[in-house]
Amino acid sequence: MSRDASTKVFAAAAIPGLILGFSLSHIGFGDFSEVHRMFTFADLRLLLTFAGGVTLTALGVAVFRRRHGLPSRPLHRGTVIGSALFGTGWAVSGACPGIVLVQLGEGRFYGLITLAGIFAGVWVGGRVQRAARLPSESC
């Protein structure tokens, strides 16, 4: 890739990264008690934030679709069991793959323990996929 093209890709990757990290932190997703309050319905703010985010994004997706196509996401054997494991881990650690990065940015360095666990889990997941012949699609 030419240097000009790779600069463009890096900028294209940096902008959504900065916005997402900033937003997740400003929303309070880096805070375990906020996430716990969301999951126990003690406070609807985070749920509304998420629902609102999905709705607004859907509007933008509709605009995008007029110009470009997008492949469908398959539903396969790993989808449900994986999501169940993920939800459990999120409730217990307060983190998802994005949130753990937000924690590090906020100075919550115990997130490094969670991050180590995530990398270990991603590695194990790869072995399980190969062993069980599960499809390895991803976002």
Partner 1 sequence: MAEYWPWWAGALGLAASALSHLFLLRRPLGVSGAYARVLDLTRERALEREERRAFTDAALRASLVSETIADMRASGVPEAEIAALESQSTREGPALVASKTPVNAQLVFLACMVAGALASAALSGRLTLQWMPAGLQPSMFGSGAGLGLTLFAGGLLVGLGTRLAGGCTSGHGLSGCARLQPASMLATAVFFGMGIGVSVLIARVLA
Q: How far is the CB of 53 from partner 1 (least distance, A)?
A: 3
Residue 130 touching partner 1 (CB under 8 A): no
Residue 4 touching partner 1 (CB under 8 A): no
User: How far apart, in whole angstroms, are the C-alpha atoms of residue 106 and residue 14?
Assistant: 18
Eight-state DSSP code of residue 94: S
**Number of amino acids touching partner 1 (CB under 8 A):** 110
CA 33 to chain centre: 19
Output 4 or 91, the one with its CB closest to partner 1: 91
Residue 53 touching partner 1 (CB under 8 A): yes
Q: How far is the CB of 22 from partner 1 (least distance, A)?
A: 4
Residue 52 touching partner 1 (CB under 8 A): yes
CA 60 to chain centre: 19
Kindly tell me which residue out of 3, 4, 55, 131 binds partner 1, with binding defined by CB under 8 A: 55
User: How far apart, in whole angstroms, are the C-alpha atoms of residue 82 and residue 112?
Assistant: 22
* Nearest-10 crossing angle of helices 32-39, 77-93: 120
8 Å CB contact between 78 and 137: no
Output 4 or 11, the one with its CB closest to partner 1: 11
Q: Which of residues 99-128 bind partner 1 (CB under 8 A)?
A: 99-110, 113-126, 128
